[in-house]
Amino acid sequence: MYANGTKQTTGSTEYSTFESTTSDNTLDAAAVLNAVTQLKVNRAQPTKGGNYAAVCSPQVLSDVMQVNEWLNAAQYSNVEELYKGEVGRLYGAKFVTTTNAFITADALGTDAARFIYDAAAGGGTGNTKDVHVSLFLGDGAFGVPELSSQSPFSPKIIITDSADKSDPLNMLITAGFKVFYTALRQNTNYYVIMRSKTASTA
């Protein structure tokens, strides 16, 4: 899905067309509403707290925060339960900022370019500017498996504090842990990929 209201379809050229646009290509209130509506149509349940999670780059978030419909975190009735890093909500979507957003390369002119990450990404709305990817997530969109009944969020830590042959005077304490982490898409109908440019020049 794109900020100007179009949808990506298989074998089409929506990305290259959107990448060449110079106006109406930033994430605004209408684009947020479109994403939330699509999740509702797909019967995606909201995340904990009754809202969908919208994960955006700081540049995209700066665009959203400038629209008149924006509700900032100060208007919440229960601020202590906000996500860490969350800055507000709009149309049933809670916004969380990430500095690890996927930003696609600019000025390649092909639909396949939407899968190419641009390590030197920047802002701007011109026809040679990068396209930022924001994720709108419903409950159950992604999952993290437990491995051997051990949660990857709290790996077992092993501490060696007794003497052995390598430390006969018992002067050292060794601590270590091992963990494996992965994420799985559980249902592709429960998330929306929103592509937009940004008026921010950061």
pLDDT per residue over 122-142, tens digit each? 777 777 788 899 999 999 998
d(CA 27, CA 194): 8
Q: For tokens 């051990």, what's the residue?
A: 150
Query: DSSP code of 57?
Result: -
Distances (CA, A) of 134 to 157, 176, 180, 195: 35, 36, 26, 6
**Which ranges of the chain have pLDDT less than 50?**
73, 81-82
d(CA 38, CA 31): 11
- CB 16 within 8 Å of CB 49: no
Query: DSSP code of 117?
Result: B
Q: For tokens 């100060």, what's the residue?
A: 74
Cβ count near 111 (within 10 Å): 17
- Angle at the Cα of 65 from the Cα atoms of 4 and 37, rounded to 5 degrees: 45
Tell me the pairing of strands 157-160 and 174-177.
Answer: antiparallel
What's the pLDDT at 144? Answer: 77
What's the pLDDT at 16? Answer: 80
What's the pLDDT at 152? Answer: 59
What's the pLDDT at 113? Answer: 75
Exposure string of 36-46, with b = 16+ CB inside 10 Å and e = fewer, is bebbeeeebeb
